[in-house]
Amino acid sequence: MRLWLLSIVLTAAGFAALPLHAETVASVTSPNDVITVELDLHEGRVGYRVERFGEAVIDTSALGFMLRGSGKLERNLELTAQSGRSFDETWEQPWGEDRYVRNHYNELRATLTETVAPNRSFDVVFRVYDEGVGFRYEFPEQAGASEWIIDDELTEFALAQPATAWWIPAGEWNRYEYLYNRTPLNQVTTAHTPMTVRTDDGLHIAFHEAALVDYAGMWLRRTDGRRFRAQLAPASEGWKVRRTLPFHTPWRTLQIADSAAALYESSNLILNLNEPNKLGDVSWFEPANYVGIWWSLHLETESWATGKKHGATTANTKRYIDFAAEHGFRGVLVEGWNPGWDGQWFGNGYDFDFTKATPDFDIEALSAYAKSKGVHLIGHHETGCAVSHYEEQMADAFAMNERLGIDVVKTGYVCDAGGIERRLPDGTITREWHDGQWNAGHHLRVLEAAAKHHVAINTHEPIKDTGLRRTYPNWVSREGARGMEYGAWGNPTNPPEHEVNLVFTRMLSGPMDYTPGILSLQGRGQTIQTTIAKQLALYVVLYSPVQMAADLPENYAKHMDAFQFIKDVPADWSRTEVLNGEVGDYVTFARQDRNSDDWYLGSITDENGRVLEVPLAFLEPGRSYMAQIYRDGERAHWEDAPFEFERESREVSSADVLTIRLAAGGGQAIRFVAR
Ligand code: NOJ
Ligand code: CA
């Protein structure tokens, strides 16, 4: 167990026992008096409000549920108990963006009980940080009921100020793979979380959830004006959630910050609201970069299906293993290695076999060959959404993976939203949502089965990330947004602002397997809308502990100068700093390598070129560094001159200020080698 408790302090600070005004029945303030949450009771209804430095952020917003049978749990409530506590702990991540994470909050627990029959009761627990708020409902055992069926959660979020929102639609066919909308808040319909907003006064707020366990994912439906209500992903039975009492909901989270950079840096709040590591020692997982038989499949020069174009052949895989060994990549992903790809697999994965390879893929010999070269094959389990079918095989598949040294598996759930196949005990097939309660449970079953065999999981077409990597550190990455594959065939393709949108929305939730590094900048009959330097910068900007060098070996051979950065950049960090940024416009990250004193910088912009002055204050004072700079050339532009690119080395120190010039659609990547 590498979790390391540095300090725990329990005090009784931060609680106002007296109501702040007439209706307020309880309140709690963050450790440094930045954020206050107040609980109001009004004619038996309970609501919460959030203020920052005394200014309203969230106006009174309702709490409650629609329960099957016993009806609405929302009225005739009284406060029957309240208590508070403070918590301050620093813990160590086995891998991540920051090695140490501080978890410092004040907590309020309020018990609300119905004054009329059936006298149901629940606790609402608020954890208030200087950077935001998490709250959840806890349901104790109730007289006369052993389980509750939730037809709707009635939690509201009423923004106090007009704002601009960055959001993607929820409850639509394409899961999470939409281009981000930037609209006035009052034009949002139903959004996935994280949803990020910037008020007209410049306050940045992100809405999300933490620890989505045995519950349905939360969408945000705008009910009127600036008021949103939780809308839970449906279950096939017609309800949203069915749980045995006692139970609690996931945490509903609000990150609140003055700037886009601070908003990103507040994301550890999501991890902090998750339970500590349940898996013990996970040092068997090694964060690393990988290559694979993948981009060729999306270009359609090779195929997943067997036959003349089959990508996953023994000879082709050997070529990739050799390439990985030569250039220092730990992993080789191979898609299309198993039976099941020859027919119609999209949304119908009944033919997939996860324990057998196709006849032209000698998995035993290839694993041995990889091992002899210090490389590991990366497994691929595309389910085509036949999830029960997959669950029947996964224990055997992970056992085989362990035997063959395949310690990372990429999973996939390709089908339209709502198309997840679940087989009931009597053999009937029902269809679930990717983010419904049943499929949330499926992902944890996969993690537990994989952990038994020391296998880490990288989920595509996943459920959103809610920080469960703290509890299950073998859940190392996932997709859950439009990735680089849209550059191959997307209609439309990812525009130049896509990645700067991702940083301040999707990336707040956790690692993404974006698969950058397409230095050929060429999709299937369309070009990728970035410069070369931006492809490099993405390795620092879009965090993942498994990071793909996604282009073909023959394309890297044509760009060896730029490729050097991809070979050098690590996938595990001891510290992360966001140096500047605006949502959807630009961002600059500095990250310190977990295994050396080197630092890395990545800066990207949208369709607008810009010049940024970046103080190198993050470097160790008094130390000299060789900055290996990979930047856009003078004439570079994502549309006209994406290959214009320059490399320069110069000596720098923490006292220097770098002028970083980003071309339209461009970027810059720097390695600072400590001397
Ligand atoms: C979609 C995934 O995002 C992609 O990476 C994969 O190649 C295909 N599904 C096939 O599994
Ligand atoms: Ca923009």
Q: What is the pLDDT of residues 211-232, one digit of tens each?
A: 999 999 999 999 999 999 999 9
The per-residue pLDDT for 452 is 98
Query: Which ligand minimizes its atom distance to the CA of 483?
Result: 1
The answer to whether the CB of 12 falls within 8 A of the CB of 22 is: no
CA distance 451 to 460: 18
Nearest ligand 1 atom to the CA of 515 is 5
Query: Which ligand minimizes its atom distance to the CA of 582?
Result: 2
pLDDT category, 583, cuts 50, 70, 90?
very high
CA distance 538 to 668: 9
pLDDT category, 553, cuts 50, 70, 90?
very high
CA distance 583 to 612: 15
Using most ligand atoms within 8 A of CB, pick from 485, 494, 515, 547 the residue to mutate for ligand 1: 485
**36 DSSP β-pair partners:** 29, 51
- Using CA positions, which residue lies closest to atom 6 of ligand 1? 412
* 582 Cα–ligand 2 center, Å: 9
Mean pLDDT of the chain: 96
pLDDT category, 465, cuts 50, 70, 90?
very high
- Answer yes or no: is pLDDT of 13 > 70: no
The fraction of the chain above a pLDDT of 90, given in percent, is 96
CA distance 627 to 491: 38
Using most ligand atoms within 8 A of CB, pick from 302, 411, 414 the residue to mutate for ligand 1: 414
The per-residue pLDDT for 473 is 98
Residue pointed to by tokens 């996604």: 550
Residue 359 DSSP one-character state: T
Mean pLDDT value across residues 539-566: 98
* 497 Cα–ligand 2 center, Å: 6
Q: Which residues are catalytic?
A: 485
Mean pLDDT value across residues 15-44: 81
- Answer yes or no: is pLDDT of 12 > 60: no
- Using CA positions, which residue lies closest to atom 10 of ligand 1? 382
Residues contacting residue 11 through CB under 8 Å, at least 6 positions apart:
86
Amino acid (one-letter) located at 445: R
Nearest ligand 1 atom to the CA of 479 is 3
Question: What's this model's pTM, rounded to 2 decimal places?
Answer: 0.96
Longest dimension (CA), the chain: 76
* 486 Cα–ligand 2 center, Å: 19
- Answer yes or no: is pLDDT of 2 > 70: no
Residues contacting residue 339 through CB under 8 Å, at least 6 positions apart:
351, 352, 353, 356, 358
Please state at what angle helix 314-327 crosses helix 363-372, rounded to 10 degrees.
20
Q: Which of left, alpha, beta for 524 (phi over 0: left; psi -120 to 50: alpha)? A: beta
- First vs last C-alpha separation in the chain: 33
Per-residue pLDDT reduced to its tens digit, 393-425: 999 999 999 999 999 999 999 999 999 999 999
* 132 Cα–ligand 2 center, Å: 26
Using most ligand atoms within 8 A of CB, pick from 175, 291, 298, 335 the residue to mutate for ligand 1: 335
The answer to whether the CB of 207 falls within 8 A of the CB of 135 is: no
| E strand or H helix that includes residue 262 | helix 260-265
Q: Which residues line ligand 1 (CB under 6 A)?
A: 294, 335, 382, 412, 414, 460, 479, 485
pLDDT category, 631, cuts 50, 70, 90?
very high
Query: Which ligand minimizes its atom distance to the CA of 335?
Result: 1
pLDDT category, 492, cuts 50, 70, 90?
very high
- How many other CB atoms are found less than 10 A from the CB of residue 653? 16
- Answer yes or no: is pLDDT of 105 > 90: yes
CA distance 419 to 288: 33
The per-residue pLDDT for 149 is 98
Amino acid (one-letter) located at 627: A
| Buried-exposed string 345-354: b where 16+ CB fall within 10 A, e elsewhere | bebbbebbeb
CA distance 27 to 126: 9
The per-residue pLDDT for 20 is 40
* 440 Cα–ligand 2 center, Å: 33
Q: Token pair of 332, please?
A: 């080789």
Query: Which ligand minimizes its atom distance to the CA of 381?
Result: 1
- Answer yes or no: is pLDDT of 235 > 90: yes
- Answer yes or no: is pLDDT of 16 > 70: no
Per-residue pLDDT reduced to its tens digit, 252-299: 999 999 999 999 999 999 999 999 999 999 999 999 999 999 999 999
Mean pLDDT value across residues 528-544: 99
Nearest ligand 1 atom to the CA of 294 is 7
Per-residue pLDDT reduced to its tens digit, 334-356: 999 999 999 999 988 999 999 99
The per-residue pLDDT for 498 is 98
- How many other CB atoms are found less than 10 A from the CB of residue 137? 21
- Answer yes or no: is pLDDT of 8 > 80: no
CA distance 487 to 528: 5
The per-residue pLDDT for 153 is 98
At residue 415, what are phi and psi to the nearest 5 degrees? -175, 170
* 460 Cα–ligand 1 center, Å: 7
The per-residue pLDDT for 335 is 98
The per-residue pLDDT for 347 is 87
Q: Token pair of 473, please?
A: 């550190």
Q: ∠ CA 215-219-220 to the nearest 5 degrees?
A: 135
Residue pointed to by tokens 């299950």: 472
Q: Residue count of the chain, please give it.
A: 675
The answer to whether the CB of 182 falls within 8 A of the CB of 202 is: no
